[in-house]
Structure 1
Amino acid sequence: MRLLIFLLVFIRVILPAQAQTTTEPDSMRLTLQQADSLFVKNNLLLLAERFRIEASQAQLLQASLYDNPTISVELSTYNSEARRVLDVGRQGQKIIAIQQLLYTAGKRNKRIALASEAARLTEFELLDLLRGLRFDLRSRFYSIYFQQKTLARFDQQLATLQTTVSAYEVQYNRNNVSLRELLRLKALLFQLNNDRTAIVFQLADDQRALRTLLSIDQPIKPVVLDESLARYQLPLQSEDTLQQIALRNRPDLKATESLTRQAELNYNLQRALAVPDMRVGGTYDQAGSYVQNYVGLSVSTDIPFFNRNQGAIRAARSQISYQTQLQRQKVMQVNNEVATALQKVREVERRVQSVEQQFTDQFDELNRGVVVNFQKGNISLLEFVDLIEAYNDSISQLNRLKADRVSAYEELNYFIGEDLFR
């Protein structure tokens, strides 16, 4: 009876896997380098952020412009003595005045410096967005790769197990096997299908996120070479060195420093605003002054008696203290993030190195002999089920560990702000 079951499994095991493979939708095969290039070219968030940079550059241009002069014209509407309307000729009356605002205390240059620092902040925000999205891209890329490998193993096992269950149903109908044996195999098949569904759901979420990052609508088939994974090795630099690299490179830290500089520049500007500006102009009065065709020079300024910009200066000074504290907090955060990421890398590398070489080969070899030994009667149904469950769980855990390894290294890249593993 077991020989018959084995022959049915052997004949039919390949066909379901092939059928399932051929029904998959067309996928776009991409290496990580190709995905990176497509991401930089197509990602809509990055494209939108570039417009923010253009807007900040336009604000810098606006800050550098001078104020327009103001001109005023006063015309005589009616000459009651000559009884003329709009008497603006030689015997009439008109006043023309022009005035220009002149900034004092270097206000224009201070505004330019503040706008320039704001533009630099926008660039740092773009770099930080790029850093975060690239980390997400690479993590999803390798997660999909290892999930697809796990799914391929599950499909092979499901094909074998489904055929085995079908063969057992035939034998059960002939009263050659017990209902308990049949139900145990069906329970194993049900559990394996549930595990596969969980992987498919996670894979679908990762595919959706990756397609959004790349701005495409096709499923991704990651192409990963052995040398691509081999480049992830424990860094030679010490923890202190890596922290110093992060402090130099992290765009989010530079953004925090830029906000501190903006607070200082704004304080300088608010102090300058306490100094009154001057308005200089000239006036031509045809017949309304003590002489005909009067030409005069005007200079005016505010008297800083009530408003000396005290509130704004005080607020700007407090903003400096606030941003300084945030900057110190950010430095501490960066150092802790690098230390934690390095600890994760060391731990996951230790786990992978301890199991990958022997564990995978032994389980693959054992799995290949499970059906044969079950057919020969060398193992019982309970042992067969236990071995299948152990193999599937171990393969799933191992591929998850490999994905976690790459994610840990990419997280270290993310927290350092530099690609250490090229």
Structure 2
Amino acid sequence: MRIYTLGFLLCFSSWARAQDRLQISIRQADSLFLQNNLLVLAEKYQIDIAKSIEIQDKLWNNPTLTAEISAYNPSRGFFDVGGKGQKAFSIQQMLTRAGKRNKQVALDIESTRKSEFQFYDLIRTLKFELRETFFESYFLSQTITLYDNQIATLNTTVAAFEKEYNRKNISLKEVVRLKALLFQLTNDRADIQFELQENQRGLKTLLSTELPIRPIVDSTDIERYILKDLNLATLKDKALQSRSDLKVVQSSTKQAELNYTLQKALAIPNIQIGATYDQASNYQNNYVGISASMDLPFFNRNQGNIRAAKSNISYFKTSENAKVNSVNNEVDAAFQKVKVAELAYQSVESHFTEQFQLLNKGIYDNFQKRNISLLEFIDFIETYNESIKELNRLKADRIKVYEELNYVVGEELFN
């Protein structure tokens, strides 16, 4: 029974530790982001608001009912509304002309499309931030692991050298220099840990969780980042078709054109038609009449709004042309970055890390056996740590520029 209880407690403690952090792959992170990110969820309401305005403007104007009764008749008293009294009723309905209602609805529909493009652009931007931070955190964790191993091994070496110093076999200078190296490694690790904690804050915010996040990356996650047959001209065409922020600007131009059409229609006055029943106050009893009214467009023909709307079209068309130029330049720059990063990454020999790690293991043994000097040992450790740290940063930067290319093109190019 004790064995079963102990086994249960061990399993439970392992499970509890697993719940203290979130271990996820990049695809799981993408999925959690779409489900949980509060900014994305909030932006959805903007689409709902735009659709609600669209529904509202499709509705017809309500008719207006007016009732009038006799409040006081000197010969018959208060509220004389009987068969020989007085009461009157009228009903009126506004009829819009020049297709104002349909033009307003068309403008609302385009406004809804713009809200949708803004929603997609928010996802595009935040997903780029998520992936950049995710992979950077993974490679920073790899560097932290390197420092942990180095510090643990160096602690053992320092302890051994202190024993030798106590036996008067080595000088204090060597022990102090090793401790200084250990102190330097500890400080370097703390700096990387600070950077990793900032990334943790960003990841937890993007995924709307309070659990620490441990990125899980396998070889397929890294190997999928390759240009294949993509060329600059194709990427620019894709960007002009897919970029949601460009579509936002194009939608603004379309809205300006629709608003210009609407403002010209607003210059044409609407017609108010109605019917009236009057029991006793007209030229004959039980009078029934119909009415029609409209504004006379002598002074206000909506000239200012029409002029402003026309200028707005020119403004947004110019902005659209500027955005197209910016998109092309962004794609060009991102494409060149990918080529530079890939060339730097490929220049590192595939067995570089393995060879360095083997040499690192041997360097400690040789140092303890006094086959190499203290200066050679320290120089190697510093060179080794800096090289591995920079290699991990190169790997993170390589994925970042590929994701930047995804971002500026507006498509998932590397699946």
Paired residue for 1:6? none
Gaps of 5+ in 1: 1-22
- Aligned identity (percent) is 54
Summarize the alignment of residues 170-319 of structure 1 with structure 2, pairs less than 5 Å apart.
170-319=163-312
Paired residue for 1:8? none
Do residues 49 (structure 1) and 43 (structure 2) align? yes
CA distance in 2, matches of 1:24, 1:193: 27
Segment of structure 1 superposing worse, 241-250 or 367-376: 367-376
SS in 1 for 2:325: helix
Q: Of 161, 165, 170, which residue of structure 1 is paired with 2:158?
A: 165
Paired residue for 1:67? 61
The AA in structure 1 aligned to 2:249 is T
Instruction: After TM superposition, give the deviation of residue 356 of structure 1 in Å.
Output: 4.3
Paired residue for 1:9? none
SS in 1 for 2:89: strand
> Once the two structures are superposed, what CA deviation does each residue of 1:109-143 show, in whole Å capped at 9, x if it has no partner?
01000110000011001100111111111111111
> Once the two structures are superposed, what CA deviation does each residue of 1:165-197 show, in whole Å capped at 9, x if it has no partner?
233333334433223222221221111111101
Summarize the alignment of residues 10-409 of structure 1 with structure 2, pairs less than 5 Å apart.
26-80=20-74, 82-409=75-402
The AA in structure 1 aligned to 2:263 is Q
CA distance in 1, matches of 2:99, 2:300: 19
SS in 1 for 2:68: strand
Paired residue for 2:3? none
Instruction: After TM superposition, give the deviation of residue 83 of structure 1 in Å.
Output: 2.8
CA distance in 1, matches of 2:20, 2:349: 32
Instruction: After TM superposition, give the deviation of residue 44 of structure 1 in Å.
Output: 1.1
Paired residue for 1:16? none
The AA in structure 2 aligned to 1:223 is I
CA distance in 1, matches of 2:167, 2:255: 85
CA distance in 2, matches of 1:128, 1:356: 39
CA distance in 1, matches of 2:18, 2:401: 30
Gaps of 5+ in 2: 1-16
> Once the two structures are superposed, what CA deviation does each residue of 1:330-368 show, in whole Å capped at 9, x if it has no partner?
101111111111111111011111114142222112111
Paired residue for 1:5? none
TM-score (norm: length of structure 2) = 0.93
SS in 1 for 2:314: helix
Q: CA RMSD in A?
A: 1.4
Instruction: After TM superposition, give the deviation of residue 25 of structure 1 in Å.
Output: 8.9
SS in 1 for 2:185: helix
CA distance in 2, matches of 1:46, 1:25: 26
TM-score (norm: length of structure 1) = 0.92
Segment of structure 1 superposing worse, 62-71 or 173-182: 173-182
SS in 2 for 1:113: helix
Instruction: After TM superposition, give the deviation of residue 148 of structure 1 in Å.
Output: 0.9
SS in 2 for 1:295: strand
Segment of structure 1 superposing worse, 361-370 or 405-414: 361-370
SS in 2 for 1:357: coil
Instruction: After TM superposition, give the deviation of residue 376 of structure 1 in Å.
Output: 2.3
> Once the two structures are superposed, what CA deviation does each residue of 1:252-308 show, in whole Å capped at 9, x if it has no partner?
000110000001111111111111111111111111111111111111000111111
Instruction: After TM superposition, give the deviation of residue 24 of structure 1 in Å.
Output: 10
Instruction: After TM superposition, give the deviation of residue 50 of structure 1 in Å.
Output: 1.2
Paired residue for 2:414? 421
The AA in structure 2 aligned to 1:111 is Q
CA distance in 2, matches of 1:74, 1:25: 74
> Once the two structures are superposed, what CA deviation does each residue of 1:351-395 show, in whole Å capped at 9, x if it has no partner?
111114142222112111110111222210000000000011111
CA distance in 2, matches of 1:405, 1:303: 68
The AA in structure 1 aligned to 2:386 is D
SS in 1 for 2:350: helix
Paired residue for 2:5? none
Paired residue for 1:12? none
